[in-house]
Amino acid sequence: MNTLLIWSLLVLTLPTENATARMRFWRALKAKGCAVLRDGIYLLPYTAEREDMLRELAASIADSGGTAHLLRAPSLDTSQETEFRALFDRADEYAGFVRALADARKTVSGQSAAELTKLVRRLRKDYETLVAIDYFPAESATRAEAAWQDFVAHVDTVLSPGEPHPADRAIRALSVADYQGRTWATRQRLWVDRVASAWLIRRFIDRDARFVWLTSPDACAADALGFDFDGAAFTHVGERVTFEVLLASFGLESDAALQRLGAMVHALDVGGAPVPEASGFEAIMAGARERAADDDQLLDEMSHVLDSMYTHFAASAKNGSDTGKRS
């Protein structure tokens, strides 16, 4: 027999003379995903974190002249539990989000990189906010996730057409000495992985590198070293993006600052663990892409940004190491 859920109940009376405070508390209750049992009685499936959140809200309500009592109780039986769970059905909210994605999709082709970046950031926030209060995910959540992933992939094809598929092959150890003064080629209209990889090549692998920006991967000359497209000498391998493959190929993975940059590029290119600096870099990249006359200018401008980030990460790594030695 399944154990019945425990619920947190907030029984409250909002301050009658402070309309602003009442509105603030109603919005807070909605943002936390509380279900309404009846006027003045709100419900959440119990966890210690959620109960602490409700306790803080109850204290704020009392401080504003209202009353609030926080209780904890299990479902009486499976019938009541089913009834309570139904109060948290997010199907309509997910359907609204999917409709918003469909409407946004119609506008993608006409927007700049900066506008698309802002659009994706806003919709991602909406999606993550909804997921955070979906305490009992159902089929509607699965459909919304699929629609979100499809939308992000569609935007990626606009921002970065020809995005490579992960190759299934080993990453060979290479010598930097064998890759000097070479011609390197990648798809034009640089985006995150390509601009970071080009910076890495020029900064740490081939300081005399010459770059060719391809209208199509098929235009890559036989003597050029392609990167970040299907069939290129350096491209996505398994879970690694091109930047990370270059790090592994040329023995640069021991550099903590480059590892931090690699994590940021990975998060922006294919997703994964969030990196605090990623959104800022993405915004700068989108703006620079709009301003730059061509990819050479874009690489030059973004190289200054990447140089600064590398210096910052290197200093952070050194300070962390020094701190560890002192302690």
Taking only the tens place, the pLDDT of each residue in 44-84 is: 999 999 999 999 999 999 998 899 999 999 999 999 999 99
Q: Which residues contact 100 (CB under 8 A, 6 or more apart)?
A: 123, 126
What sign does the CA torsion over 305, 309, 312, 315 have? negative
pLDDT at 54: 96
Amino acid in position 327: S
pLDDT at residue 1 is higher than 50: no
Q: What letters, b where the CB count within 10 A reaches 16 and e where it falls short, cover 171-195? A: beebeeeebeebebbbbbbbbbbbb
pLDDT at 272: 79
Distances (CA, A) of 308 to 3, 313, 315: 54, 9, 11
Question: Locate tokens 């235009």: which residue?
Answer: 219
Distances (CA, A) of 180 to 165, 184, 203, 206, 210: 27, 11, 12, 5, 10
Q: What is the mean pLDDT of the chain?
A: 92
Domains of the chain (ranges; CATH) run: 6-86 (3.30.70.240), 91-159 (no CATH), 176-324 (no CATH)
Give mean pLDDT, residues 237-262.
Answer: 97
Q: Are 43 and 76 in contact (CB under 8 A)?
A: no
The DSSP output letter for 234 is B
pLDDT at 92: 96
Q: At what angle do helices 242-249 and 256-270 cross, to 10 degrees?
A: 150
pLDDT at 114: 84
- Give the Cα separation of 234 and 167 in Å (integer): 10
Q: What are the beta bridge partners of residue 183?
A: 210
- Give the Cα separation of 31 and 63 in Å (integer): 20
What's the pLDDT tens digit per position in 192-242?
Answer: 999 999 999 999 999 999 999 999 899 999 999 999 999 999 999 999 999
pLDDT at 55: 96
The continuous run of DSSP H or E covering 36 comes out as: strand 35-38
Highest mean pLDDT among 9-23, 195-209, 272-286: 195-209
Q: Residue 111: which of 183, 159, 45 has the closest Cα? A: 159
